[in-house]
């Protein structure tokens, strides 16, 4: 065992003895090391020259380094060629994109104007030039506004031009550079078509109304002529004459109301709604006209005024509209009708509430349409006239009803504001809807629809 250790030590010192030592190992095929109490075995290939292997490894490393350098040079060459191709193609691509954008601007049906941070027009397509006139390139946008635009009171979300056309403007800021993109959409033809359509619809409605009224007018007119002819009879006693006179006046009043309704529908425009008016001045004529009829029908008509604000109105037109609502309630067999007026910071509400037969849900919007009626003898114009008058006063009509539980009709108008800040349309609508919810007829007890009426029991607050 000692000689084996000596030979191993010698082979480690003398590399040339590795071959000889390998032969002896192949003969014995194993050896043991007992000095460290461990066993091991080793087998080496015959004739292995480790020095030669080392030299080959060094040669292979040089070869790998050489190939790697060649690959790096090839990659650099390819990158250089690609960079050159990109650089040569970039201007062409930019030119192609510019041509595409020019064609898009030429083909757009809307006008396009681009202004820079100094307010100068840097680009404008042909439609913009046609709408605004003159070459726009390089002009100040402020000068173009003064030259081409002519705002009108009825423009709304559109703007009128001095050439008579109406356009809609859409302005978008350019980022990150300062400037704006302005798109002008010509709505002239669209508005003209809408105006013509509205005119045709009015003519159609008038034609339908005339045909309906021809039948409706004939009936009371024939009755009035009959009563008038009977009054000339010498055999008629005083009692009969008085009865015929009363019926004749009733028929003539019915004719007058139908003619007035027809005129209001035909006008369909704001008529002198410019007088600063107290609500009481509108309601008093209604009470004077309807109280005798309500008493005859054994119906209690009450008026509760909680409105402290005034409004711009045509008193006669509004009184006639509210009179129609009260008459409808009487014809619905109501035994109690309440007219309640109240005001908020933005609106005056006039509520007509009855405990009549009410309306089904699907009828609550239809009753506002012309010629829709639930009566066997009616023109269907009463509530349509109401809606026309209310709209002419920039107001709204809201209906809340349930079958056999009565009906609430609210007329809502903007208050007269001489020095007050106007609210937005959205705020007004929210406030008005919240107020309507307070009076929505959903309770079994009709008295719950009265808003604060118990606090207004003085003789001045109640009529009838």
- The string of pLDDT tens digits covering residues 248-279 is 888 888 788 777 766 666 665 545 667 888 99
In degrees and rounded to multiples of 5, residue 277 shows phi and psi of -130, 140
Most confident of 71-75, 175-179, 279-283, 362-366: 279-283
Expressed in angstroms, the distance from the first to the final Cα of the chain is 140
The answer to whether 257 and 294 have CB atoms below 8 angstroms apart is no
Rounded CA-CA distance 351/302 in Å is 12
Rounded CA-CA distance 226/244 in Å is 9
According to the model, what pLDDT value does residue 190 have?
A: 87
Long-range contacts of 120-129 (CB under 8 A, 24+ apart): 122/179, 127/184, 127/186, 128/184
- Write down the pTM of the prediction: 0.43
Q: Walk me through the domains of the chain, giving residue ranges and CATH numbers.
A: 2-47 (no CATH), 109-186 (3.30.450.20), 194-268 (1.10.287.130), 270-464 (3.30.565.10)
Other Cβ atoms closer than 10 A to 155:
14
Q: Which residue has the higher pLDDT, 1 or 86?
A: 86
Nearest to 299 by CA among 363, 344, 354: 354
Buried b (16+ CB within 10 A) or exposed e, 69-107: eeeeeeeeeeeeeeeeeeeeeeeeeeeeeeeeeeeebee
Is the predicted pLDDT of residue 353 greater than 90, yes or no?
yes
| Average pLDDT rounded to a whole number, residues 75-82 | 68
pLDDT in tens, 199-232: 888 778 777 767 766 766 777 788 888 888 888 8
């Amino acid at each position: 065992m000692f000689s084996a250790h000596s030979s191993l030590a010698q082979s480690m010192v003398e590399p040339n003895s590795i071959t000889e030592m390998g032969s002896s190992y192949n003969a014995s095929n194993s050896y043991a090391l007992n000095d460290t109490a461990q066993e091991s075995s080793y087998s080496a290939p015959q004739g292995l020259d480790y020095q030669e292997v080392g030299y080959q490894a060094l040669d292979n490393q040089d070869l790998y380094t050489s190939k790697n350098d060649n690959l790096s040079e090839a990659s650099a060459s390819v990158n250089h060629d690609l960079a050159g191709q990109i650089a040569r193609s970039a201007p062409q691509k930019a030119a192609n994109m510019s041509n595409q954008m020019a064609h898009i601007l030429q083909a757009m049906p809307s006008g396009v104007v681009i202004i820079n941070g100094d307010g100068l027009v840097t680009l404008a397509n042909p439609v913009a030039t046609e709408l605004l006139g003159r070459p726009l390139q390089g002009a100040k946008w402020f000068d173009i506004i003064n030259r081409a635009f002519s705002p009108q009171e009825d423009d709304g979300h559109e703007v009128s031009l001095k050439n008579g056309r109406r356009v809609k403007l859409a302005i978008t800021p350019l980022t990150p550079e300062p400037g704006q993109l302005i798109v002008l959409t010509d709505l002239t033809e669209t508005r003209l078509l809408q105006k013509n359509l509205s005119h045709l619809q009015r003519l159609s409605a008038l034609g339908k109304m005339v045909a309906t009224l021809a039948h409706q007018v004939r009936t009371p007119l024939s009755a009035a002529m009959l009563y008038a002819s009977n009054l000339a009879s010498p055999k008629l006693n005083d009692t009969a004459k008085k009865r015929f006179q009363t019926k004749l006046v009733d028929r003539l009043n019915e004719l007058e109301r139908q003619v007035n309704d027809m005129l209001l529908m035909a006008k369909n425009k704001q008529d002198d709604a410019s007088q600063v008016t107290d609500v009481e001045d509108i309601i008093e004529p209604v009470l004077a006209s309807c109280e005798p009829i309500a008493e005859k029908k054994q119906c209690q008509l009450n008026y509760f005024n909680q409105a402290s604000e005034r409004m711009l109105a045509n008193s006669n037109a509004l009184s006639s509209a509210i009179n129609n609502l009260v008459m409808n309630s009487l014809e619905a067999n109501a035994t109690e009708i309440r007219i309640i007026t109240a005001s908020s910071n933005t609106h005056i509400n006039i509520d007509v509430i009855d405990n009549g037969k009410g309306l089904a849900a699907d009828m609550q919007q239809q009753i506002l349409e012309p010629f829709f009626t639930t009566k066997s003898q009616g023109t269907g114009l009463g509530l349509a006239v109401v809606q026309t008058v209310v709209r002419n006063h920039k107001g709204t009509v809201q209906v809340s009803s349930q079958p056999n539980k009565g009906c609430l009709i609210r007329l809502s108008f903007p208050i007269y504001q001489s020095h007050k800040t106007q609210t937005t349309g959205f705020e007004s609508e929210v406030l008005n809807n919240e107020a309507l919810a307070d009076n929505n007829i959903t309770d079994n007890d009709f008295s719950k629809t009265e808003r604060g009426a118990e606090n207004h029991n003085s003789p001045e607050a109640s009529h009838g």
